[in-house]
Amino acid sequence: MPDYQATYDKLCAHAQQTAQLSTTGDILGWDENTKMPPAAGPYRAEQLALLAGLVHERATAPQVGDWLAELADSPLAANQQSDAGTVIRELQRSYDRKTKLPGRLVEELTLASSLGQQIWGKAREENDYARFSPALERMLKLKREEADAVGYAECRYDALLDEYEPHETSANVGRVLQSLGEALVPIVEKIQGSSRKAPSQILEREYPTAAQEIFGTATAKAIGFDFDAGRIDVTTHPFCTTLGPRDVRLTTRYNERFFNSGLFSILHEAGHGLYEQGVPSEHFGLPTGETVSLGIHESQSRMWENLVGRSEAFWEHFYGPAQKAFPQALAGVPLEDFHFAINESKPSLIRVEADEATYNLHILIRFELELLLINDDLSVDDLPAEWNARYEKYLGITPPNDADGVMQDVHWSCGLIGYFPTYALGNLYASQFFEQAQADLGDWKAQFRQGDFAPLLGWLRKNIHSHGQRYRAAELVERVTGAPLASKALLRHLSGKFGSLYGF
């Protein structure tokens, strides 16, 4: 009998060393986005490409395939949810996907992504869709090739979705998003028709950056983000990146005349960061020490940003400190006005600025269009008109130009197709998880009011974070909540919150 354990150990050591190299690339990326002097860009791109090449070479090394083949029918792989079973299953999945893509296609995708992003940036600046469309056309062609190389059972889009949300299908996502969309439109209409208006101007008063930084950091710390193993910096586009088992970096942006930008970006990214800090660090670089999917990841960020961070109970604890931190803006403003303001809902053009009620309609539009594009059922030339028609249909507004319409997001330009649905999945999972957490935690509002977020974080650690990739997303949701992915929990949350704020 072969020495399966020895082979397994080699496989793990190899994967963990590959992670050391890929997180090195992530450090380069973090620095590029936060600290790097402007003229250093071209050389940094070369360094990143070199690292990416080394990582790809290691990840697709034939010996990895040999080890996996040897282990496939071994006792170690028998229980798919044991540590070893999880590691073997998920490394096999990732190895298969990577080795199915011809090297030529990988290179063309890398190049098209880099060029596409540059072209998109200029085209968006100049509101010139005609300039962008050939790059998009080319990218779609390559992504269809990618999907065909990876393979799929029913729908080409599944092969792309699978990269970000493993094992999820477009049929299932389509069904849930469609039912969500149908229920959201009347909610959004009721909000629009309400005579109540959120006093949003109080968020546009003076919020000095230094005070936002102190308040935001203290808040992230209070909800449990460990600054011994992480930090917050400033970027144009907030993100969270993990540079090692005890090194999670968040970023945010501060707007002195708009409170939401800084703090809710911090809460969102800290939600991602708490997940990263919660997976077992001794398994770092192995599937047992990695997060499940982008959808599950987003469920954590959206929970802390919205379900926690925009709740009344949260602000019953933090509003006092906020008034102290921003006396010029908030002195004399009642808590309920502030709470209404940070929960203002109105149809808007730009996804990243959308509120909880309208956000998922932005995603539904993108998902529908991606499906059509990938299946060759919609031409790139007709895309802007279809985009605008859907904004009219779902949100009752029409973009005045393509820059703030079809060209607003970077994703398509750099090949992130199949990625958008994970944002909506995140919102759906978040509500399902949070309902269950509420049931399990007892008087969670009292806990929040006292600034005690340890019970919720402990619940997330135990039920979600600690498992790494042991369960697939769909399994995890069923296991934790007893029900499959569905739109009900999110709709209950949105109707409840906005019904109470807007009086319907």
Residues acting as catalytic residues: 269
Q: For residues 151 and 227, which CB has a smaller minimum distance to a copy of itself in the complex? A: 227
Which residues, at least 6 apart from 469, have a Cβ–Cβ distance to it below 8 Å?
86, 90, 287, 288, 290, 291, 292
> Site for a copy of itself (CB under 8 A): which residue of 88, 198, 240, 243?
243
Which parts of 437-466 interact with a copy of itself (CB under 8 A)?
A: none
Which parts of 40-59 interact with a copy of itself (CB under 8 A)?
A: 40, 42-44, 46-47, 50-51, 54
Q: For residues 166 and 245, which CB has a smaller minimum distance to a copy of itself in the complex? A: 245
Q: Counting Cβ atoms within 10 Å, is residue 282 exposed (0-12), middle (13-18) or buried (19+)?
A: exposed
Rounded to whole angstroms, the Cα distance separating 350 from 378 reads: 23
CB of 477 to a copy of itself, least distance (A): 31
Using rule CB under 8 A, residue 247 touches a copy of itself = yes
Rounded to whole angstroms, the Cα distance separating 229 from 248 reads: 6
What beta strand segments (E) does 91-246 contain? 230-234, 240-244
CB of 53 to a copy of itself, least distance (A): 10
Site string for a copy of itself, 289-308 (x = CB under 8 A): --------------------
CB of 297 to a copy of itself, least distance (A): 20
> For residue 188, which of 428, 499, 490, 398 has the smallest C-alpha distance?
499
CB of 18 to a copy of itself, least distance (A): 10
CB of 25 to a copy of itself, least distance (A): 8
> Site for a copy of itself (CB under 8 A): which residue of 38, 193, 332, 482?
38
Three-state DSSP at 494 gives: helix
Structure tokens at 231: 């930090």
Using rule CB under 8 A, residue 24 touches a copy of itself = yes
Question: What is the bridge-based pairing of β-strands 247-252 and 230-234?
Answer: parallel
Q: For residues 25 and 399, which CB has a smaller minimum distance to a copy of itself in the complex? A: 25
Site string for a copy of itself, 178-217 (x = CB under 8 A): ----------------------------------------
Rounded to whole angstroms, the Cα distance separating 160 from 316 reads: 43
Q: Report the interhelical angle of 170-193 vs 488-502 (nearest 10°).
A: 10
> Site for a copy of itself (CB under 8 A): which residue of 13, 197, 227, 396?
227
Three-state DSSP at 38 gives: helix
Output phi, psi for 118, to 5 deg. Answer: -65, -45
- Scanning 2-10, 32-40, 304-312, 370-378 for contacts with a copy of itself by CB under 8 A, the matching segment is 32-40
Q: For residues 58 and 138, which CB has a smaller minimum distance to a copy of itself in the complex? A: 58
Which parts of 263-292 interact with a copy of itself (CB under 8 A)?
A: 284
CB of 36 to a copy of itself, least distance (A): 7
Q: For residues 38 and 193, which CB has a smaller minimum distance to a copy of itself in the complex? A: 38
Q: What is the dihedral of CA 12, 14, 17, 22, to 10 degrees?
A: -100
Rounded to whole angstroms, the Cα distance separating 164 from 157 reads: 12
> Site for a copy of itself (CB under 8 A): which residue of 27, 378, 441, 491?
27
C-beta separation of 116 from 414 below 8 A: yes
- Scanning 29-37, 104-112, 314-322, 480-488 for contacts with a copy of itself by CB under 8 A, the matching segment is 29-37
CB of 250 to a copy of itself, least distance (A): 11
Q: How many chain residues bind a copy of itself (CB under 8 A)?
A: 35
Rounded to whole angstroms, the Cα distance separating 485 from 426 reads: 11
Site string for a copy of itself, 328-367 (x = CB under 8 A): ----------------------------------------
> For residue 414, which of 111, 123, 45 has the smallest C-alpha distance?
111
Ordered DSSP codes for 391-438: HHHHHS---SSSTTTTTS-SGGGGT--S-THHHHHHHHHHHHHHHHHH
Using rule CB under 8 A, residue 130 touches a copy of itself = no
Tokens 């779609």 sit at which residue?
140
Q: What is the CA radius of gyration of the chain?
A: 23
Structure tokens at 480: 């934790």
Structure tokens at 464: 């979600």
> Site for a copy of itself (CB under 8 A): which residue of 65, 244, 455, 499?
244
- Scanning 20-28, 194-202, 354-362, 418-426 for contacts with a copy of itself by CB under 8 A, the matching segment is 20-28
Within a 10 A sphere around the Cβ of 42, how many other Cβ atoms?
7
CB of 277 to a copy of itself, least distance (A): 10
Residues that bind a copy of itself (CB under 8 A): 17, 20-21, 23-24, 27-28, 31, 35-40, 42-44, 46-47, 50-51, 54, 226-231, 233, 243-247, 284
